[in-house]
Amino acid sequence: MAMLALSLLLSFSACKDKQTEITPEPETSPEEVQEEIQTPKEPVIISLAGGDYGYPSPYLHYSRGPGSFKMQLVFDSLLERGEKGTIPWLAESYSVSEDGLTYSFKIREGVKWHDGKDMTPEDVKFSFEYQMENPPVSGISTTLGKGDNIIESMSLDGNDFIVKVSQKNAAMLENLGSVRIIPKHIWENIDNPKEFTDEICGIGCGPYKITDYDKEQGAYKFEAFKDYWGQNHLVDEIRFVPVSDGILAFDKGEIDLTGITPDVYEKYA
């Protein structure tokens, strides 16, 4: 999932996230407590190889991996996949009934959409209903209500989102947890989401918000969402810039991270 990939990217930049501390010389006695002065922290910007993969909306990004990754920077899900498996995300906790047919997710409070409005359990229920009726480009949402993913009912009980399914499915928890949550106040009157190209279709509640997209250049700019509910950002801005050769661009310092092929591995080992 996006957070695992993003954590690798963030760890790459963590060494840049330092603050320089300056302690002034005492003007009176050594015992006097001196106020610590910190220089303003420089924003951490990561540049990566670009390429057009569509607008990062669940309905406009291209189905290839980079398109999904960019969309998942903007839109969060109930659960995420960490190093040790499934972890709570927009759902602060979850439970599964003994018969494996009822899933309950306690929706996290204090989550904001990028436009400043509150994310609510009603948004979560709406997201499932809307995506079952209007399957997005990719992800498990495209198969909800089909095959082994039959949902019998969805309901809210306070902050709890409750899903009942028709048959036990070992993959159901991950399937439900990976659905990207979209704001009801933006999408509820959109009849054809694949033709909804207004920039507000990129409003999510994920760690980054899309602030610039150039389709012709294949360039993107994502800025850290300052009101994000989760951990503080190590990277303030992620840029995807057009390059003709990733390794050459890396050598020139135009991008900060790139993939390499086996024939050049020893050069960078």
In DSSP notation, 11-44 reads: HHHGGG----EE-PPPSS-TTSPPPPEEPPPPPP
Least reliable range by pLDDT among 76-80, 101-105, 163-167: 163-167
Q: Are strands 37-38 and 45-49 parallel, antiparallel or unpaired?
A: unpaired
Look at the chain and report how many structural domains it folds into.
1
**Angstrom distances, CA of residue 169 to CA of 14, 98, 106, 212:** 39, 13, 21, 40
What's the pLDDT at 4?
Answer: 44
Digit-coded pLDDT (tens) for 120-179: 999 999 999 999 999 999 876 666 766 666 899 999 999 999 999 999 989 899 999 999
Q: Are strands 79-82 and 91-96 parallel, antiparallel or unpaired?
A: unpaired
Containing domain of residue 6, as a range? 2-268
What are the phi and psi torsion angles at 120 (to 5°)?
Answer: -125, 165
Structure tokens at 150: 């039959």
pLDDT confidence tier of residue 265, bands split at 50, 70 and 90: confident
Among candidate residues 221, 119, 238, 104, the one with its CA nearest the CA of residue 180: 119
Is residue 61 scored above 70 in pLDDT?
A: yes
Q: Are 120 and 188 in contact (CB under 8 A)?
A: no
CATH code of residue 169: 3.40.190.10
